[in-house]
Amino acid sequence: MPAFSLLEGGNSSVDYVDGIESETMLRRKAREAALQALFQIDVGRSEVEDAVTYVVTLNDLNDAGEEFCRELVTGVLANLELIDRLIAEHAVDWNLKRLGNVERNLLRMALFELMYRRDIPVGVTINEAVEIAKTFANDDSGRFVNGILGRFVRERNLEDDSEG
């Protein structure tokens, strides 16, 4: 277990249908795990592999969930400089280091999805980030995250191909 741990008490919203986790709920659980790992790496200075292995076990992710979690974590870290620059540009009047640890890492993860996972509808990425912010931070954090991501999407003219 990493020396510094976060969010063990998060209320995951994973549902089961006939005993099988839905893909949507699996992705939510993997996003929550990725946030936990990014937090441990960022704040607790955990090693990447230690943090990911810990959260995969903690959240009881299956192979698909682990793969998505790892992709989010490694994708954020591989593009961290660009992502942080984008957060700084869109978080008007906020210094990156002044952002809450949860909000900063959640924005990193959502911006990675918006830029590099075009197969995931824009609305899904934003809604998931807002709901996770409400779970692991508070309602104000959800509104803050929504505002930053909405500004990014509008400025980039990202279209959402989903029905809703």
pLDDT in tens, 99-138: 999 999 999 999 999 999 999 999 999 999 999 999 999 8
Superfamily for the 16-156 domain: NusB-like (1.10.940.10)
Q: Which amino acid is at 108?
A: R
CA distance linking residue 150 with residue 144, whole number of Å: 10
Q: pTM (2 decimals)? A: 0.85
pLDDT band at 11 (very low <50, low <70, confident <90, very high): very low
Q: Are 33 and 96 in contact (CB under 8 A)?
A: no
State yes or no: pLDDT of 148 exceeds 90.
yes
Q: Are 64 and 26 in contact (CB under 8 A)?
A: yes
Q: Where are the domains of the chain?
A: 16-156
> What's the count of helices (H) and strands (E) in the chain, helices before strands?
7, 2
Phi first, then psi, for residue 91 (nearest 5°) are: -90, 75
Among 56, 108, 49, 99, which residue's Cα sits nearest to residue 77? 108
